[in-house]
Amino acid sequence: MTFEQIRALITGRMVAFTGIDQAWIDYPNQPDVFRPPATGLWCRLNIQYASAFMAGMADRPHTRKPGQISIQCFARERTGTKAINELADALEAHFAYWQSGLLECVEATQVVAGEFEGFYQVNVNIRFRAG
């Protein structure tokens, strides 16, 4: 599996997520500058690759490509944590143990990043392996 195939499948899965308006998801390196909404929640998708490794040898080498999907979820400071926790739970349910072809997502973890520059942040991290 190529890195582009991995990116396309993960991005496609995020596009299929209905728990937040697609206009409020910041996808990597888009042509237009993303501007967070004045109110409500928003997210940023990141795909972080780990070191690929040879997983087998038959008529040619077989490579596995592991990594982590990190979805940063943001709420305005002082707006409470219920809505952002529900969003993080919905993202976990959407991605954890999902599989498409040779791409397999496994467990999801939520990490509270806290408050910074007017936003409260929770990251949803989902490990994946491809190949």
Residue 68's pLDDT band (cuts 50, 70, 90): very high
Cα dihedral: 66, 22, 27, 50 (round 10): -10
pTM across the whole model: 0.93
How far apart are the C-alpha atoms of 120 and 117, rounded to whole Å? Answer: 9
Domain 3-29+36-47+73-130 in CATH 3.30.2000.20: yes
Give the model confidence (pLDDT) of 69-87 as tens digits.
999 999 999 999 999 999 9
Q: Domain boundaries in the chain?
A: 3-29+36-47+73-130
Q: What's the pLDDT at 3?
A: 95
**Quick one: CA dihedral 70, 76, 82, 83, positive or negative?**
negative
pLDDT at 62 exceeding the cut of 90? no
Q: Which residues contact 82 (CB under 8 A, 6 or more apart)?
A: none
Give the model confidence (pLDDT) of 40-60 as tens digits.
999 999 999 999 998 888 888
